[in-house]
Amino acid sequence: MGRRYDPERRQRIIDAAITVVGERGIGALSHRTVAAAADVPLGSTTYHFASLDDLLVAALEQVSAEWVADMERWERDTAAEVPLADAMTGLMEELLEGDRKRLELEYELYVAALRRTPVRPIVAAYLDDTAALLVRRTGDLSVARAVVALFDGLLLQLLLTGRPFDRDEARTAFERVTG
């Protein structure tokens, strides 16, 4: 019997890696768990991704691309006259009220870069892309980077502590950073 033609297999493996991390955390990521989740032979995961870092890079690239696309939509759909502090506060509130599992997944992959050097360039690109979007509103790259840092920091704190979102506190913080 010949080899089965399966052009979507690589993508299914990436999707399965994202699912595994989303459901069980980064510690559960292995070729074996991903192969089972993707319903492919174990050899397929190692064929397409020689190492777990290679698989993690592909997963983070996909998640980052989705995040940047969402941010581009948000920036395009947010009226220019809305103060950035209000817009960022509204976005944060929307994310926290939305799919919290997706948000946790995104940050879990993001934080994986602390220990996995091959992942760092993807995180750096995400930060640069997000800051570049905000430069359209701030006109200043250093302010845009500070807004991204504040946004990520506040979201991480809220996810980690379970504290309720305080709209006024977040708006005040963004207002201070944006002037």
SS (H, E, C) 42-94: HHHHHHHCCCHHHHHHHHHHHHHHHHHHHHHHHHHHCCCCCCHHHHHHHHHHH
| Residue 29: other Cβ atoms inside 10 A | 20
Q: What is the mean pLDDT of residues 137-146?
A: 96
- Nearest 5°: phi and psi at 130? -65, -45
pLDDT at 76: 92
- How many structural domains are present in the chain? 2
Examine the domain organization and report whether 45 and 103 are in the same domain. Answer: no
pLDDT of residue 112: 87
Report the pLDDT value the prediction gives residue 1, as an integer from 0 to 100.
44
Statement to judge: residues 35 and 121 lie in one domain: no
On whether both 164 and 126 belong to a single domain, the answer is yes
> Are 76 and 142 in a shared domain?
yes
Residue range 62-117, pLDDT digits in tens: 998 998 899 999 999 999 999 999 999 999 999 999 888 888 888 888 888 888 89
- The answer on 27 and 90 residing in a single domain is no
Q: Are residues 43 and 64 in the same domain?
A: no
If asked whether residues 127 and 167 sit together in one domain, one would say yes
The reply to whether 21 and 61 lie within a common domain is no
Domain residue limits at 25: 1-50
Confidence band of 140 (pLDDT split at 50, 70, 90): very high
Give tens-digit pLDDT for 73-82. Answer: 999 999 999 9
Same-domain status, 19 and 94: no
Q: Are 72 and 162 in contact (CB under 8 A)?
A: no
Q: Given pLDDT bands bounded at 50, 70 and 90, which one contains residue 40?
A: very high
- In this prediction the pTM is 0.85
Mean pLDDT value of segment 155-163:
93
Looking at every residue in the chain, the average pLDDT score rounds to 92
Same-domain check for residues 72 and 46: no
Q: Residue 168: give its domain's CATH number.
A: 1.10.357.10
89 and 150 together in one domain: yes
Residue 4: pLDDT band by 50, 70, 90 thresholds? low
